[in-house]
Amino acid sequence: MTGAPVLELTDVTFRREGKKIINGISLTVRAGEHWALLGPNGAGKSTLLGFCGAVTFPTSGTVHVLGEQLGRVELQRLRHSIGHVNPRHPLRSALTIREVVLTGLTATVDLPMHWTPTAADLTRAEAMIDTVGLTGKATEIWPTLSQGERGRALIARALIAEPELLLFDEPSTGLDVAAREQLLETIDNLDDTHPDVASILVTHHLEELPSTTTHALLIADGNTVASGPAAEIVTTENVTTAFAHPVRVRHDDGRWTARASRRQLTDTPPGARTDTADPASPSH
């Protein structure tokens, strides 16, 4: 890859109350790459994302974010260059979409009392709102928004500070199918509007992976199952291993699906292609 490293985890471990949560995981994310972090509940995904966001420190190993090593850098400054999209955003006030987006500049949940956005800040907020498909909704109040609109507003909030790294923490949580597809389309569009931004998306549902996903890290019980280009990593064999259950994986038109199978994993249902098929061969 030609992109510069944006994130480097080197043999990181993490212990909580004597229990090892992360066991020697390494990961390098480069500019313009879009990683999926996959694994079952309790695998350690949230802990790893905490390292990536400069929120959690490993018990051992090193973490470099945007060229800075955790433990040797002022964290607040570093976090301004990291956009974090969390559908459980703990908003306590009835802010408008515009105000929520502006909090991305202050890296706060609510707008600071003595802070006033500049004309340039307001112009940029409107541009980000347009980017995520919420044109004309800037003055709508947070409690009145659908979960999908909130998700897209949080992406605009993450983008306004011009981050080099975007973190998506299960962004499709609570969305119906239509809202999920709108959100994933918004994420896919970032590949055109912000081509140099690297991203990591955490999920345990393959259907929630954007088509622009370039790489994947599968983990289970705090260990790496597989890591590398998504087309090579998100496979029936690796997903079955990570989730400890027979799962058939399909990849069609840039999107993944998975379903549990009581049949042998090499079976191919009529009209479908699984990852076990030769990519150069026509679908069966």
Query: What's the rounded Cα separation, in Å, for the pair 279 and 284?
Result: 11
Q: What is the pLDDT of residue 9?
A: 96
The whole-number pLDDT of residue 103 equals 92
Which pLDDT score, from 0 to 100, does residue 282 have?
37
- How much is the pLDDT for 279? 38
Q: What is the pLDDT of residue 277?
A: 40
What separation, in Å, do the N-terminal and C-terminal C-alpha atoms of the chain show? 33
DSSP for 82-150? EEEE-TT----S--BHHHHHHHHHHTSSS--TT----HHHHHHHHHHHHHTT-TT-TT-BGGGS-HHHH
Q: What is the pLDDT of residue 75?
A: 77
pLDDT at site 130: 94
Residue 72's pLDDT is: 84
Where are the chain's structural domains? 1-81+163-249, 94-162
Contact 96, 143 (CB under 8 A): no
165 SS3 class = strand
So what's the pLDDT on residue 2? Answer: 58
What's the angle, vertex CA 221, arms to CA 215 and CA 227, rounded to 5? 20
* Residue-by-residue pLDDT tens, the chain, 284 positions: 457 899 999 999 999 888 889 999 999 999 999 999 999 998 999 999 999 998 889 999 999 999 888 888 777 778 888 999 988 888 878 899 999 999 999 888 888 888 999 999 999 999 999 999 999 999 999 999 998 999 999 999 999 999 999 999 999 988 899 999 999 999 999 999 999 999 999 998 999 999 999 999 999 999 999 999 999 999 999 999 999 999 999 999 889 999 987 654 444 444 444 454 433 333 33
Protein fold of 1-81+163-249: Rossmann fold (3.40.50)
Place of tokens 């090593």: 69
Look at residue 164 in the predicted model and tell me its pLDDT: 93
